[in-house]
Structure 1
């Protein structure tokens, strides 16, 4: 498994501080974020999942703690939209250039607006997918939000 991905490269180029942690990804393991939290021995609230959705037909990226679900209505409102829905996995892969289970908000092939769940910013450091299955980046959520120019909002249940 390579620790260098498009995600790590863009963060390095931008001078964002992070460390890489890897774990054995189980393709049959169910919820990817919770699987990563367990494998890393970390609180699921600090291991964020990257979800791809659409708001009024426009693709967006939502980052939320792995132990929470997204309220589509509140996610749409965070972007001033009316409706939100999850992207199909194949569409998410096409837009991001990453494989499901390894989708990172950093270094996506097609840059989309990003929202990060505000409760994630309460932690000093969090884990966000590093662009490959089994690769997590440990970094400041504030640095991540700043780099991604993310909307910070409450959209999780």
Structure 2
């Protein structure tokens, strides 16, 4: 049981855990989850960490659909920062307590500011990492925002 699943259980929200066999040679974790679970790619969200205002240790969480890229300018606006850039993976792992590809927006070691793409409103439930590669948690956007204090904004873009 991961800290993410424990956080959902402790909060008493409705959720489902989905497990699949992770292929260690796979580096596109979100796409792997989509294929393994057979669900719409837009319902599976990846958890990305950004550093704010040029400080590699001032981190925030951005949650966007798997088929999209994070719009760093929109993300910085949503987080009321001057600048956002992708966080150093080693710092992200140390700060969250999770490994890249299994970083969950729930149950992190330290609560970070968070923003989720507003497209999550289009679905009754969405899928995010449950804290390890090969494990997803399905929950409502409302519950996710309540549990991690996330706001919503248009932060994703398709290329």
For Structure 1 versus Structure 2, the TM-score category normalised by the shorter chain is over 0.9
1:87 has 2:87 as partner: yes
How many residues align structurally?
154
Quote the RMSD (CA, aligned, Å).
Answer: 1.0
8 A contact 2:111–2:148 mirrored in 1: no
1:103 has 2:103 as partner: yes
Query: TM-score normalised to the size of structure 1?
Result: 0.94
Structure 1 segments, 4+ long, off by >4 Å, are: none
- Matching of residues 114-125 of structure 1 within 5 Å: 114-125=114-125
1:28 is displaced (CA, Å) by 2.1
Show CA shifts across 1:69-118 (max 9, x none).
Answer: 00111100001111111111111100000111111011101110110000
Which ranges of structure 2 fall in alignment gaps of 5 or more residues? none
Match of 2:10 among 9, 13, 16: 13
Higher strand fraction (1 or 2): 2
1:27 is displaced (CA, Å) by 2.7
Which ranges of structure 1 fall in alignment gaps of 5 or more residues? none
